[in-house]
Amino acid sequence: MKTLQVKLKDHSYPIYIGNGLLSRSELIQPFINSKQVMIVTNETVAPLYLQTLRNTVAAAGVEDSNNKFLVLPDGEQYKNIDVLNRVFDELLKFNFGRQSVLIALGGGVVGDLTGFAAACYQRGIDFIQVPTTLLAQVDSSVGGKTGVNHALGKNMIGAFHQPVAVISDTDTLNTLEDRQLIAGSAEVIKYGLINDKDFYVWLEGNIEKVMSLDKAAMVYVIEQSCLNKANVVQRDEKENNIRAILNLGHTFGHAIETITGYTQWLHGEGVAVGMLMAAEMSRKLGWFAASDVERVKKLLQKAKLPITISNAISSEKIVEVMGVDKKVQDNKIRLVLLKSIGSATITSDFDLKLLYETIEAFQE
């Protein structure tokens, strides 16, 4: 097992990475000892891991009457205020107090929604992330961004609320659908692109190991991703400046997800094509080599990630939705672009025409 520590000004918390961690009560015990605990999960994950985790919570000394759970429907379209309210209903039904703890067992949707419920319930209670998808293990479970979607924009309602611990059991990836695994690898590639050229080069040579769930490779990939993310988050927890580079590809990707109603595209898929759009836009601005755009395209293809969008998604609609994306400042669209592989930059200094041309180059 690998242990990383995320060190923030007011909070510091461990990330545990390894196999068989779901059953290890000593990892979770310090955070739930004699408290009321509610595991929040979804209908896909529950049959696989809920009972194991409930047993672990019990083994950590939590009485049955304080060992509750809630199973939500599965899918990004359920990451909304109505489903959030169901968590509050359940917590209040069981008289959960300010000392209780939520455990998010699942992917990014469960983690974001449960974290936001923890942020708001009685103005803030503790929560633990137990991510079961690659995307959640390398990205969404770390850094404290929580929230839900609004019909007019993704993650528009939320809070910064750090977990008290992250427990990433790599065994849970064995039951992950291939499409989810592939989508998660987009965020892994992102860390290489924005911050870590060595890791990017390693991925170019080893992406097949990730796709085949090689044990050592998975621990390495999750560890490097979390290290890169923690490094950025520690410098700028509330995204006042540098943290925004973690959004490479996200402004494009969110727009695609929003327009298609959060049902057709997985988050990582949107991010993948968005990163390639950002690379191409950077090339058009003269910042990024054409050969490097090809390298990015090739790695995304190797990972079986999408590199085009349907022409039914108009560039006008994408730019319009990008306009309500959180990365907007003073009514100007700010984009994360690339200077080279391993180095990103944030800018709002570009011609809108270039943005349209970039998007249109990816329609087919």
Q: Which residues bind its own copies (CB under 8 A)?
A: 34, 81, 85, 88-89, 92-93, 95, 97-99, 119-124, 145, 147, 150, 152-153, 155-160, 238-239, 323-324, 326, 328-331
Task: Say if residues 79 and 129 touch (Cβ distance below 8 Å).
Answer: no
Q: What's the closest the beta carbon of residue 91 comes to its own copies, in angstroms?
A: 8
Q: What's the closest the beta carbon of residue 15 comes to its own copies, in angstroms?
A: 21
Q: What's the closest the beta carbon of residue 54 comes to its own copies, in angstroms?
A: 20
Name the residue nearer to its own copies (CB basis): 158 or 184: 158
* Amino acid, res. 329: Q
Name the residue nearer to its own copies (CB basis): 10 or 178: 10
Name the residue nearer to its own copies (CB basis): 1 or 328: 328
Number of Cα atoms under 13 Å in the Cβ half of residue 123:
0
Gap between the Cα atoms of 71 and 44, Å rounded: 9
Name the residue nearer to its own copies (CB basis): 284 or 326: 326
Catalytic residues: 123, 145, 187, 229, 239, 243, 247, 250, 254, 267
Gap between the Cα atoms of 89 and 70, Å rounded: 11
Name the residue nearer to its own copies (CB basis): 151 or 216: 151
Name the residue nearer to its own copies (CB basis): 166 or 244: 244
Q: What's the closest the beta carbon of residue 319 comes to its own copies, in angstroms?
A: 12
Burial bucket for residue 3 (CB in 10 Å: 0-12, 13-18, 19+): exposed
Q: How are beta strands 153-160 and 101-106 bridged, if at all?
A: unpaired
Name the residue nearer to its own copies (CB basis): 16 or 262: 262
Q: What's the closest the beta carbon of residue 55 comes to its own copies, in angstroms?
A: 23
User: Which pair of tokens denotes residue 27?
Assistant: 């990892």
Q: What's the closest the beta carbon of residue 141 comes to its own copies, in angstroms?
A: 17
Q: Is the dihedral of CA 123, 128, 130, 136 positive or negative?
A: positive
In 3D, which of 39, 42, 141 has the Cα closest to residue 91? 39
165-169 β-sheet, strand order: 2-7, 12-18, 165-169, 126-131, 101-106, 37-42, 67-72
Gap between the Cα atoms of 322 and 313, Å rounded: 13
In 3D, which of 261, 247, 235, 270 has the Cα closest to residue 329? 247
User: Which pair of tokens denotes residue 62?
Assistant: 């939590």
Q: What's the closest the beta carbon of residue 62 comes to its own copies, in angstroms?
A: 13
Gap between the Cα atoms of 131 and 105, Å rounded: 6
Q: How far is CA 322 from CA 117, 163, 250, 280, in A?
A: 26, 29, 10, 17
Rg (alpha carbons) of the chain, rounded to whole number: 20
